[in-house]
Amino acid sequence: MKESGGGKPMDDDDLIIDEDDGFDPDLDTVDNDDDEELEEDEPTLTFQVKNGRIRSKFDELPAMVQAVDKILRTERFVYPIYSDQYGNDLPDLFGKSFSYACVEIQRMLEEALLDDDRITDLVIDSIQQQDSTTLFVKGTCTTIYGQVPIESEVKLGDTR
């Protein structure tokens, strides 16, 4: 191991290593014990977005309303910024029959929403055919902060 001009140890990439940073150059790993605690303690604090502009910050139930809405609007596996567990698979129903889609919507929404640890339950109240290509889903999402009503349109075909 090399030393910097200040007498501090350096790794092979010439990065200065402090003894209290949890880095063991022999193992080339970082101590992640603190990271697990941080994940459990993360608040729901998020930015309030209105008309495409950030207006303020909010927490708890209003933040969960936004989180649920965002999950319902985000297609899974499309955006590399999100993990493969974030979002929904509802666009996979495009081209499927109404009877098949009605059965699959419940499963797909449960899979998408219940992946968030703050969401404890999902109840679908109704799935109605809105027109020849669209289903309209209504339900309630139970979170640790309260109830969040959900409404979502699911397109099964072209509207042309």
> Is the pLDDT assigned to residue 126 strictly greater than 80?
yes
Q: How far apart are CA 152 and CA 135, in angstroms?
A: 8
pLDDT at site 78 = 85
Tens-place pLDDT, residues 47-97: 777 788 888 888 889 999 999 999 998 888 888 888 888 988 888 888 888
pLDDT at site 121 = 96
> Is the pLDDT assigned to residue 106 strictly greater than 60?
yes
pLDDT at site 156 = 85
> Is the pLDDT assigned to residue 140 strictly greater than 90?
yes
> Is the pLDDT assigned to residue 119 strictly greater than 90?
yes
Tens-place pLDDT, residues 20-32: 545 455 554 445 5
Q: Tokens in use for 124? A: 């679908």
pLDDT at site 123 = 95
State the chain's mean pLDDT as an integer: 78
pLDDT at site 29 = 47
Burial code (b: 16+ CB inside 10 Å, e: under 16) for 81-98 equals eeeeebbbebeebeeeeb
Structural domains of the chain sorted by starting position, each given as residue range(s) with its CATH number in brackets? 2-41 (no CATH), 46-155 (3.10.450.40)
Regarding predicted confidence, which is higher, 152 or 35? Answer: 152
